[in-house]
Chain A
Amino acid sequence: MTPSQIPPDLRGRRARDPFWVAASALFNGIQRVRSLRTPVLPPVTPVDRTLTTVVREVRQEAEDVVGLRLAAPDGRALPAWQPGCHLDVRLPSGRRRQYSLCGDPADRRTYRIAVRRLPHGAGGSLEAHALAEGDLLTVSEPRNAFPFLPRDRYLFLAGGIGITPLLPMVQAARRLGADWRLVYTGRTRASLPFLDELPADRVEIRTDDDHGVPDCAELLTRAPAADAAIYCCGPAPMIDGVRAAFAPHGPATLHFERFAPAPVVDGRPFEIELRRRGVTLRVPADRTALDVLTEYDPAVAHSCRQGFCGTCRVGLLAGDADRRHPGDTDPDSLLVCVSRASGGRLVLDM
Chain B
Amino acid sequence: MTIPPTEPGNIVLQARDVRFDWSEVPLHWIPGDPVATHLINVLHLLLPAGEEWFVRVFKEAVPHIRDDRLREDVLGFIGQEAVHASSHDQVLDHFLAQGLDVRPFVRQVEFLFEGLLGDRNLTGTRGQAWLYERISLIAAIEHFTGVLGDWILNATALDEAGAHPTMLDLLRWHGAEEVEHRHVAHDLFMHLDGSYPARLRAMAETITALTALWRRGHRFLMAADPIVQGRIKGGLHHVRRTGAAGLTPGGRMVAASIGRYLRRSYSPLNEGSTSQALAYLASSPAARAALR
Contacts and interface: CB of A to CB of B under 8 A. Distances in A.
Contact of A41 (B8, B86, B111, B193): B193
A254 B11 CA distance: 18
Given A3-B111, A303-B75, A41 B6 contact: no
B79 A309 contact: yes
B86 A3 contact: no
A132 interface: no
Contacts of B9: 80-82, 144
Query: Which size bracket describes the interface of A in this complex?
Result: 35 or more
Contacts of A254: 282, 288, 291
Nearest to A42: B193
Contacts of A142: 10
Given A44-B66, A47-B66, A7 B282 contact: no
Contacts of A84: 8
B86 A44 contact: no
A311 B14 contact: no
Interface in B4-28: 5-12, 14-15, 17
A4 B115 contact: yes
Contacts of A306: 17
B71 A308 contact: no
The listed residue with most B CB atoms (<10 A of its CB), out of A7, A31, A229, is A7
Contact of B125 (A23, A24, A39, A145): A39
Contacts of A47: 66-70, 191
Interface string B41-82: 000000000000001000100111111111110011011101
Interface string B178-204: 000000000000011111000000000
B107 A8 contact: yes
A141 interface: yes
B279 interface: yes
Given A5-B111, A253-B283, A143 B12 contact: yes
A259 B118 CA distance: 36
Contacts of B128: 39, 41
A311 B104 contact: no
Contact of B111 (A6, A80, A81): A6
B289 A81 contact: no
A299 B62 contact: yes
Interface string B149-189: 00000000000000000000000000000000000000000
Nearest to B126: A39
- Binding site secondary structure of chain B: helix
Contacts of B72: 143
A140 to B, nearest CB: 7
Contacts of A5: 111, 115
Contact of A149 (B8, B12, B105, B193): B8
A144 B291 contact: no
Contacts of A249: 285
A248 B292 contact: yes
Contacts of B141: none
A12 to B, nearest CB: 7
Interface residues of B, number: 69
Contacts of B17: 304, 306, 308
B110 interface: yes
A249 B132 CA distance: 44
B46 to A, nearest CB: 15
Interface of A: 3-12, 17, 19-20, 23-24, 27-28, 31, 35, 38-39, 41-42, 44-47, 49, 80-82, 84-85, 105, 140-145, 147-150, 172, 176, 229, 243, 248-249, 253-255, 258, 298-299, 301-304, 306, 308-311
Given A140-B69, A298-B71, A299-B71, 14 more contacts: A3-B113, A7-B104, A31-B120, A80-B9, A84-B8, A143-B12, A145-B11, A147-B8, A147-B11, A147-B278, A301-B62, A303-B79, A308-B15, A309-B82
Minimum-distance CB pairs A-B, first 5: A303-B79, A39-B129, A147-B8, A47-B67, A3-B114
Interface of B: 5-12, 14-15, 17, 55, 59, 62-72, 75-76, 78-80, 82-83, 86, 104-105, 107-108, 110-111, 113-116, 118, 120, 125-126, 128-129, 132, 191-195, 212, 216, 220, 223, 274-275, 278-279, 282-283, 285, 288-289, 291-292
12 contacts: A3-B110, A7-B104, A28-B116, A39-B126, A44-B66, A46-B67, A47-B191, A49-B69, A105-B5, A254-B288, A299-B63, A311-B79
